[in-house]
Structure 1
Amino acid sequence: MYQVRLASRSEFVPIRHLRYHVRTWGQPGPGKVPLVLVHGWMDVAASWQFMVDAFSADHYVIAPDWRGYGLTEAAPTDNYWFPDYLADLDFLLDHYADGQPVDLVGHSMGGNIAMLYTGSRPERIRKLVNLEGFGMAATRPSQAPKRYAKWMDELKALHRGELALKAYDDLGGVARRLMKTNRRLDPRKADWLASHWARTDAQGTWHIMGDAAHKITNAQLFRVDEVLEIYKCITAPVLAVEASDDSLTQWWQGRYTLDEYHERLKSVPDCRIARIEDAGHMLHHDQPEALARLLEAFLAE
C-alpha cells in the first residue's frame, strides 16, 4: 500500500444545505495563501494526496469532495448543474478564506469550474492552475432540441436504474478498474486510491462514491462565446498544464482539438501553457513530483 507522507484531516462543512466533506493538509498561518484543490469528474479530494506529498514547501491545502462525490452528500436531485459547483466553491471560500484571496488548482472538470469561477469572482483568486480543464466542444443552437430530448431520455434511464455505477466484489476489483483507466498508475497507489474512491456495503460489495446522476448530459449547450467573455475577466495569472498524452484527440476524435483549446486560452489576459512529460489525463497521479515542482515554482513567482 502507498505510504502517505502528510496525512489529511477530514472536516464536514455546511454548504448550501449539504454536508460537504473537505480534506485539509497543513495549517493556516501568517503569510500563507490558502491553496484550494478541486478534483474532476468521478474523482475525490483524496486523489490529490500524491501531489501534496511531493510538495517541498509547507502549504495550507483545502480540497473538497464536490457535491455527490466522495463523502459529500448527494444533492436532492436527479441531475447536476455546472453553476452549482461555482456557488459551492464560493460558499466554501467564505468558510475557509473569507476576505483572503486564494491560490486555486483544478483538474479536468475542476479545472473548468476553476476557470469559470475565477472569471466570475476575479478578486478572490491570487493565482490559478488549470490541469487539463479543456472545456467542451463548441455547440450550435440547432443542437438544442435534440440535446433537451437526450437529457429527458437519460433522466428516465437513471430512474429505471440503467445508469447505475458498476459495483465490485472486493477492493482489488476497484484498484484494477483504476489501473485499467490509467495504465501508468502504480498498483500501490491504486490500492490506496481504491480505499478512498469506493466504500463497502453490509454485503461486502464495493461501490464507487459518486452519484450516478452525474452521468446525465447537461441539458444546456456549451456556449464558447459566453466562456470566452468569462475568460477575459480573469485577472489572476493562469498556468494551464497539459499532459504529454493528448486526451482531447482520444475523447473528441477531431471534433475538439488542442489547437482550439489554445485559441480559447488567448482570451485569458495572463496565461502560460506548460506540459508534463510521460503523463496522461490523471497527471497528478502519473507525475506528482514533476507537477508539484511546476506548481510551486509558479505560485512562488
Structure 2
Amino acid sequence: MKPSRSEFITVRNLQYHIRHWGSDGAPKLFMLHGWMDVSASFQFLVDALQRDWHVIAPDWRGFGRTDFAETGYWHPDYLADLEAVLQHYSPQQPVNLLGHSLGANIAGIYAGVRPQRIARLVLLEGFGMPATRPDDAPKRYATWLDELQNPPGLRAYASQADVAMRLQKNNPRLNDVHAVFLAGHWAAPDCSGNWVLQADPQHRLTNPTLYRVEEIMACWREITASVLWVEAKNSELVPRFGPPEIARTEIDRRIAHIADVTILMVDDAGHMVQHDQPETLACAIENFLA
C-alpha cells in the first residue's frame, strides 16, 4: 500500500484531519469520503493510480480523526468546510475534485455554487436521496424531536477482527486484508478495550430538513467543469428510488441537469465501488483527468 501521512488544520473552529498521499509537488486530487466512512477508504483507489498524484482527503467533521461538531451536522456546513480546505491547499488554482456518496453530493453542489473553483469533477455514486414532499415535514420534525430525547448510539465491537467481519457483512466483495485495514481506520479501541466507530453518534439522527432535489439539480445546472459520473452495476442505493425502470428514469432525469457529463457503469461492484473495483476506477479517473 502507498504510504499516507496525516496533517491537522483548523477549519471553522474544528481540528480537521487531512490525509495525504504522494509528493507535495505532484498534481493535486482532492477526495471526499461518504457518510459513516473515513478518508482511508480511498487507500485502494490511490494504490491503483499509475501517475504521481498529491491526493488530499479530509475526514469530514464528526468522522475519523476530525473533531465532532457540538452544533450538529448540516449540509451547508460541509460546503463551508470544503471551501476552507480548498482555500488552504489551492487558494488560486481550480482543483480536481472527487467525491463518493455523501462526498459526491457535497462536491456536486459545490461545483455548481463555485464553478470557477473546479477543473474536473468525479462523482462516485452521487445520486442524492429520494425526493421528498412538503407533506413529509411534520413527521420528519416529530421524529427528530423524539430522537433528541433519546439520542442514538453506536455499537461497540470486541475486536478489530469483529469490525472487519461487520465490514465484510456489509460488503461481501471486501477481501480479508482490505477488511482488516479498513477496520483499523473505521474504528478504534476505547478505554475499555472495545472497538467503537470513529463517528459522532449524532450522525444517526434523522435530518429534520427535507431533501429538495429540485434545488440540488439547480446547482448541478451551474456546473461548468467536465464531470465523470460513476455508478456501480450492483449499487445498493438504486432500489431506494423504486423499481428498476422507475429508479433508472429518476437517476437519468437528475444526470440530465449536468451539461458536460461522461457516464461510467462499473461491473461487479456495489456502492463502495472504490473498494470493489479500484483498478477499473483508477484507470477511468486518470483517463478522464488527462
TM-score by length of 1: 0.93
Q: Report the Cα distance in structure 2 between the residues aligned to 1:254 and 1:143, rounded to whole angstroms.
A: 21
Cα contact 1:33–1:60 (8 A) shared by 2: yes
Q: Report the Cα distance in structure 2 between the residues aligned to 1:117 and 1:190, rounded to whole angstroms.
A: 31
Which runs of no fewer than 5 residues in structure 2 stay unpaired? Answer: none
Residue in structure 2 matched with residue 45 of structure 1 by the alignment: 39
List aligned pairs for 1:2-151, cutoff 5 A. Answer: 4=1, 6-29=2-25, 32-77=26-71, 79-151=72-144
Cα contact 2:109–2:216 (8 A) shared by 1: yes
Deviates more, 1:134-143 or 1:83-92: 134-143
Identical counterparts, % of pairs: 51
Deviates more, 1:283-292 or 1:140-149: 140-149
Residue in structure 2 matched with residue 213 of structure 1 by the alignment: 202
Are 2:271 and 1:281 equivalent residues in the alignment? yes
Counterpart residue identity of residue 141, structure 2: Y
Are 2:218 and 1:224 equivalent residues in the alignment? no
Residue in structure 1 matched with residue 191 of structure 2 by the alignment: 202
Per-residue CA distance 1:173-213 (angstroms, 9 max, x = gap): 00000000001000110001101111101221100001110
Residue in structure 2 matched with residue 264 of structure 1 by the alignment: 254
Cα contact 1:33–1:101 (8 A) shared by 2: no
Q: Report the Cα distance in structure 2 between the residues aligned to 1:258 and 1:207, rounded to whole angstroms.
A: 37
Q: Report the Cα distance in structure 2 between the residues aligned to 1:92 and 1:242, rounded to whole angstroms.
A: 26
Cα offset, 1:27, TM superposition: 2.0
Cα offset, 1:99, TM superposition: 1.1
Cα contact 2:18–2:56 (8 A) shared by 1: yes
Per-residue CA distance 1:43-70 (angstroms, 9 max, x = gap): 0000100000000000011000000000
Count of residues in correspondence between the two structures: 289
TM-score by length of 2: 0.96
Counterpart residue identity of residue 174, structure 2: L
Deviates more, 1:232-241 or 1:245-254: 245-254
List structure 1 runs of 4+ shifted beyond 4 angstroms. Answer: none
List aligned pairs for 1:174-185, cutoff 5 A. Answer: 174-185=163-174
Counterpart residue identity of residue 106, structure 1: G
Q: Report the Cα distance in structure 2 between the residues aligned to 1:202 and 1:148, rounded to whole angstroms.
A: 36
Per-residue CA distance 1:129-159 (angstroms, 9 max, x = gap): 000011011111121121211111122221x
Q: 1:234 aligns with which of 216, 223, 231?
A: 223
Match of 2:150, SS state, is helix
Which runs of no fewer than 5 residues in structure 1 stay unpaired? Answer: none
Q: Report the Cα distance in structure 1 between the residues aligned to 2:92 and 2:82, rounded to whole angstroms.
A: 14
Per-residue CA distance 1:34-89 (angstroms, 9 max, x = gap): 10000000000001000000000000110000000000000113x31011101000
